[in-house]
Structure 1
């Protein structure tokens, strides 16, 4: 066996947020290492400063007090102060949470942070260094997704079941002021103050809620056509501007209007996560891939030059892998990376950008088929092409968002895509694309997400997950395994083959169905009798499997292992150890189906030639 390092699996420049401080627009990175903040100088028209944020994989929240930035991280949730003059970085607060989602400063110079998964509100006083935990803003929910503060009140957008909490800074009283008409939504996602009015973006319907802060019962709701998420809001006087996703559109309205007006689409499908005005009236925006300046008068877009020795595209944690002939397609943030399979590359690696994340992929007849988050979209990428095409998306009425598995049924030419429901929603779906449209079977595995798929001549095996939409609490304890019969379009049988909560992958090898759970249990099942033939431990974590003949290959993030699958209990063999893989999601192995495997070591792609 020989292992060859093919270099970084995926490289990207990715920003999660940003803020203007004087003559600089500061950008905060996420999902790439090392994590940095960087300043674009509006006069010099280039990146002039960067500062390293240690020990975290990315940043979500950002705001400024004077010339100091305050940024919040995830995994773990921390709050850092960045002196934009000296570039000194100081950790000032451990939020004791997984994510610090949002950071906003109040007019009196305090810094407020909203968190996940306990929906807590923290306050930090830069003048004294004192930190105060104000507790959960909603005892039954998980996100303070965004917030905005006045001298008297902190307004918190709640999810994953939409809420809007007004927190009285003097008394500690919490009041949910979200109108009943919006109770069925998932998030109060973006908050902005425009004078005496609070403007809130609502997900997943891209509605705008305007609340009079002097009388919370006085409000109006504006509907945005043909979009799902409000991602950025700014204002000048009573004139409100906001951006949406997935279209990348910019809208405007004046307080009192009953409907927004489309201004334009600065960059199609871009996520403008933070927007604001320059002194000359042009609009600046921080996008996932960089920054722009948009001229409202001419409807023209200027891309900011983000090139810098310290801000080049950086290795990211891969999300998925797919073998596509002479290349590996690597799913990542805002697109896929395409890497040659050869030790001496047959072509230079390149990136195919699009809005979203390819969570799972399959290649058939020269086309890579991709299940893309968000909005449960299906995209295709012909081998060698530099542009991906959206073919279809699951009907919004099904409330699905995150593809968990995508497989092409080669016998029938069907694209099978499993999905997880939207935030705060229940029951995933089996979605079948027949060349014209998706048909969906939501709740086909009762009270569970469909996590994995494996077709056979007459139907498809479905592996379940007890995890539903983010922010929900599981109502089952063991992952279900079912068989969907194409002929009846119904579930033919349902069993619980494991004590694990998530069946990450399924492979049919002869007459044995092999599955692996998230906690590293590999099992074999006879699909005719539904008898569990064996269970073996293959490591701390289970991931996506690869098959060559009767051999199954997998990785637990550290070791590459293999077993020979049959009716008797197999004994795992470790092929390589010390891989120290860094994945955004489950680890994965793919194969050419003959004698070569591909997986990762660290964030690099490796080729494993079997003897």
Structure 2
């Protein structure tokens, strides 16, 4: 079906669409009856009962969308297994092909000039191995996949298709390389390493003679890494040279490149900075820069440029410099992963599983529902889990699954981005949202299925890790990592006023705030670096924003991933299972051990009824309050996470964790 979006088009009307409503339509597509509790009878062993509550988060989300011809759209699913590339016909509003692929997701799709082959570069995950460079033959029924080459060690971020059908792609790796695939020879070769010190190739564009390469330092930043770069590769000679506008020196990244007639459109961003540059293709020394504007996926129609920006789709006039939002009124499109021009309309692909065609003249839109047309829904990898107020919330990609503990029903909350952690306070859920999503909230008593933004994250503090409640100061405390600047921050949020404060690098310039716990008005911060070092614990006054004391319990630090306070003891779980108990009065370590067999990577902690429990992707366990010995309560969770493994506990003392891709309830008897 399609639906015209107009000024009266409300969020509630949007939720009535099959792709985006409560899980009625989604459950049927996944083979699960709507309105039926997922709980299985459970199993009991040694006083522990585990009950399966069904898929933790059901959704169809995506991270790439491109047109092929005038009427076909191809999208790549995100965070469901297997990943699928889905073809959709805008004329019939039906899915035309579903092709299983390796990996978890891809941001990269490119079609050849004839529209026969669709290429993709996919990170080769350990959990979903296989050749990461593939193509689909669109001329054949079902668009079958052909494996072209393995690309181990590369996290792909940029792809371009030249007018003569040669594919170029690159991404994040040590000494990021530009790769070329020539379909005439079938050979994949490395053709350039434009900057061996930058973490990633971020954007690409190409003509028949030249490849334009944008680099950046969004992730994997080191003290010696360079940042934004813009290079040309002469395809005939292999010569690489810089054409970076001087205004972009020392900026974070060249995010977008687009050929527009005889010019290259360049979008530079990072750390609150945004700018456009237009560079003459025939003479790259002819450049004009417009600072203070720009966005993702820029496309030109007449004298207007359209891009994905704050609030959805923005229009920018090259003639007057005027800018306006053309998103249909009342329509929350979430993250956009594709944008192009179709006739005199702007078409975008929403991570909510929608294709939306917008008329810039009227700002009205036509909505195409991918799930209603046959796109497959599936269980996502979990990002977070929280329990309380008779509900369990599981963060996913562009959605949060809400499990009603009274009825057993699951519904979906639209939440752009990733809910890295959730706090439930006074019956209301607060989501700490990546990427730079700030704090979103959902009140089941009044909200209509969409999370509302109530606070912004601070510039460059884009990746939240944990949000916890401070009973004494009546504020939430959130730990962050900065992907672009390294280090991190600690933010406070007052739900009564939505006011926030932020302190950058409370541990040091390298350590993010990976773990947080509050006790008696003090926030304890656990640090870790991106290469699993650091491991500093800082006692922090969240109101005065000052350090009280610090310590590093590990002799060979791997980083702190979980914290809990019971009585006078601070429990510290570190990456790969190092474990410490600190006496808060003396600030001395009174117990240490290693729980690597049950904590293969990240371990987190929580307290319930005077006892400390731990969770990892592998197991759920408890610590003895006197000896600190570990008891394995559920040793075989094998949770499939796209985030830091956690467990949650509700007001009744029932625990919730992820087993595989399902939510489970864990009941522990006092004698267990």
Distance 2:571 2:634 in 1: 22
**1:4 to partner: Cα distance:** 0.8
Larger CA deviation: 535-544 vs 65-74: 535-544
Structure with the larger strand share: 1
State how 1:89-128 maps to structure 2 within 5 Å.
89-118=145-174, 119-128=176-185
Equivalent residues of 1:18, 1:62 under 8 A apart: yes
Equivalent residues of 1:30, 1:60 under 8 A apart: no
Give 2:54's aligned residue: 7
Q: Deviations over 1:457-514 (max 9, x none)?
A: 24211111123xxxxxx6x943111111357532111111123332112110111101
Equivalent residues of 2:609, 2:653 under 8 A apart: no
Distance 1:270 1:214 in 2: 38
Partner residue of 1:429 out of 463, 466, 489:
489
Is 1:57 the counterpart of 2:125 in the alignment? no
Is 1:84 the counterpart of 2:138 in the alignment? yes
Distance 1:260 1:152 in 2: 34
Distance 2:288 2:483 in 1: 25
Is 1:265 the counterpart of 2:327 in the alignment? yes
Residues 194 and 478 of structure 1, relative CA distance in 2, 3 Å threshold: same
Distance 2:582 2:657 in 1: 26
Distance 1:21 1:533 in 2: 64
Is 1:440 the counterpart of 2:502 in the alignment? yes
- State the structure with bigger RCO (CA 8 A, min sep 6), 1 or 2: 2
State how 1:462-477 maps to structure 2 within 5 Å.
462-467=525-530, 477=533
**1:237 to partner: Cα distance:** 5.8
**1:269 to partner: Cα distance:** 5.4
Equivalent residues of 1:222, 1:259 under 8 A apart: no
Q: Deviations over 1:22-62 (max 9, x none)?
A: 23111111222221111111221222222111x31112211
Equivalent residues of 1:544, 1:588 under 8 A apart: yes
Distance 1:172 1:494 in 2: 53
Distance 1:272 1:48 in 2: 22
Equivalent residues of 1:47, 1:305 under 8 A apart: no
State how 1:125-524 maps to structure 2 within 5 Å.
125-160=182-217, 161-204=227-270, 205-224=273-292, 230-236=295-301, 239-244=304-309, 246-254=310-318, 257=319, 259-266=321-328, 267-268=331-332, 270-278=334-342, 280-289=343-352, 290-307=354-371, 311-341=375-405, 346-375=407-436, 377-384=438-445, 385=447, 386-396=449-459, 399-423=460-484, 425-434=485-494, 435-447=497-509, 448-467=511-530, 477-485=533-541, 489-498=545-554, 499-524=556-581
Give 2:117's aligned residue: 68
**1:215 to partner: Cα distance:** 2.0
Distance 1:75 1:528 in 2: 48
**1:300 to partner: Cα distance:** 0.8
Secondary structure in structure 2 of the residue aligned to 1:181? helix
For structure 1, the 5+ residue unaligned runs are 468-473
Normalising by the residue count of structure 2, what TM-score does the alignment of the two structures yield? 0.83
Distance 2:184 2:396 in 1: 40
Residues 486 and 203 of structure 1, relative CA distance in 2, 3 Å threshold: closer
Give 1:581's aligned residue: 639
Distance 1:313 1:564 in 2: 42
Distance 1:99 1:426 in 2: 19
Give 1:471's aligned residue: none
Equivalent residues of 2:492, 2:542 under 8 A apart: no
Equivalent residues of 1:194, 1:235 under 8 A apart: yes
Secondary structure in structure 2 of the residue aligned to 1:85? coil
Q: Which runs of 4+ in 1 moved over 6 A?
A: none
Equivalent residues of 2:94, 2:373 under 8 A apart: no
Residues 203 and 543 of structure 1, relative CA distance in 2, 3 Å threshold: farther
**Number of residue pairs matched?**
588
Distance 1:554 1:277 in 2: 51
Residues 223 and 32 of structure 1, relative CA distance in 2, 3 Å threshold: farther
Equivalent residues of 2:253, 2:268 under 8 A apart: yes
Secondary structure in structure 2 of the residue aligned to 1:217? coil
Residues 492 and 7 of structure 1, relative CA distance in 2, 3 Å threshold: same
**1:374 to partner: Cα distance:** 2.1
Secondary structure in structure 2 of the residue aligned to 1:277? strand
Partner residue of 2:593 out of 536, 540, 543:
536
Distance 2:61 2:248 in 1: 32
Residues 115 and 487 of structure 1, relative CA distance in 2, 3 Å threshold: closer
Distance 1:301 1:41 in 2: 17
**1:383 to partner: Cα distance:** 4.0
Residues 309 and 253 of structure 1, relative CA distance in 2, 3 Å threshold: closer
Secondary structure in structure 1 of the residue aligned to 2:81? coil
**1:600 to partner: Cα distance:** 1.0
Give 2:23's aligned residue: none
Equivalent residues of 1:249, 1:268 under 8 A apart: no
**1:235 to partner: Cα distance:** 2.3
**1:563 to partner: Cα distance:** 1.4
For structure 2, the 5+ residue unaligned runs are 1-47, 126-130, 218-226
Equivalent residues of 1:374, 1:402 under 8 A apart: yes
Equivalent residues of 2:311, 2:325 under 8 A apart: no
